[in-house]
Amino acid sequence: MVPRRIRMLAIDVDGTLLDSTGRIPPAHAEAVADAHAAGMLVVLATGRVHHFVQPVVDALGVPVATIVNNGAVSRDPDGRIVVRRVLERDVALAILDEVRGFDDSVALVFDRPDGQIVFEGMDWTHPHRQGYYRRNHAFLTQAPLREALSEDPIQVMFNGSIEPMRALVASLHRLSCADRCTVAVTEYEARDFALVDVNGPDCSKGTTLARLAARLDVPAAQIMAVGDNWNDLEMLEFAGLPVVMGNATEAIKRRGFPVVPDHDTGGLAIAIRRYALTTDR
């Protein structure tokens, strides 16, 4: 029997599993391996696209399920798709047409083996985009975005400085098609950088985790979730045992969830051992 009856462990990637250098601390890897050995299904839940999270999965060395693109796609540990939510093409077109002034910070994301991310005028010289471009240029395609919409994408993706992105979010919520999409926000205040992902309706890490749990007959009470940012909020609220990292956005920490040390001081390992791998009740 898994201690505390935790059967599923949902972990955010950037800012939670990974440290500030983008690596998996040994303590985190060991705690995740121990959770797997104790019988828990480990789920990595991230805003990253599939190809960008796969090296993290490989580095962990244990079978994990994944939730990528902030809930748009979920795969089981064998890589089979179990949840796939698209953004309808006409909604994506409306977003591109109605939200002006962000041509240098928008891309389309498709669920394809290669060429998943299509951009038209993205400014890759932005200091917070250069690393992403360097690591993922093989999966990037430059093309007119409206012409690229020959099929339903899984996401329209924006990124940039926080204040313009907050203004963008307000505009997205005013769109006539706002009820046909979901907006996920990730903010890094110390770096003045934010990610805004527009997915299909009722699509988030939380809703997809709920679908995955229902498929496996795991009640929310037996799920532990660990995260650090706004795009983790629904996942944290769904899980019976939510835990927040010490480096989390201050507004998330004020929600009243248990808080552990940050990602550079073994916070995830502490969370797993304190709350999931303990016999205390």
Task: Give me the count of residues in the chain.
Answer: 281
Q: How far apart are CA 265 and CA 268, in angstroms?
A: 9
Type and span of the H or E element at 226: strand 223-227
Which is nearest to 108 in space by CA: 82, 76, 74, 139? 139
3-class DSSP state of 241: strand
Identify the DSSP state of 181: -
Q: How far apart are CA 96 and CA 82, in angstroms?
A: 29
DSSP 94-133: HHHHHS-S-GGGEEEE---SS--EEESS--TTSTTTHHHH
* Through-space distance between the first and last CA atoms of the chain, rounded to whole angstroms: 14
The residues that bridge with 117 in the sheet, in sequence order, are: 109, 140
Do 240 and 220 contact (CB within 8 A), yes or no?
yes
Report the b/e string of 212-235 with b at 16+ CB within 10 A. bbeeeebebebbbbbbbbbbbbbb
Question: pTM of this prediction?
Answer: 0.92
Amino acid identity of 242? P
Sheet containing strand 41-45, edge to edge, reads: 81-84, 73-75, 65-68, 41-45, 8-12, 223-227, 241-244
Do 142 and 120 contact (CB within 8 A), yes or no?
yes
Type and span of the H or E element at 202: none
3-class DSSP state of 85: coil
Per-residue pLDDT of the chain (281 residues; tens, 9 = 90+): 344 589 999 999 999 999 999 999 999 999 999 999 999 999 999 999 998 999 999 999 999 999 999 999 999 999 999 999 999 999 999 999 988 889 899 999 998 876 589 999 998 888 888 888 888 888 899 999 999 999 999 999 999 999 999 999 999 999 999 999 999 999 998 889 999 999 999 999 999 999 999 999 999 999 999 999 999 999 999 999 999 999 999 999 999 999 999 999 999 999 999 999 985 44
Domains of the chain: 3-84+203-276 (3.40.50.1000), 89-199 (3.30.1240.10)
DSSP 244-268: E-TTS-HHHHTT---B---TTTTHH
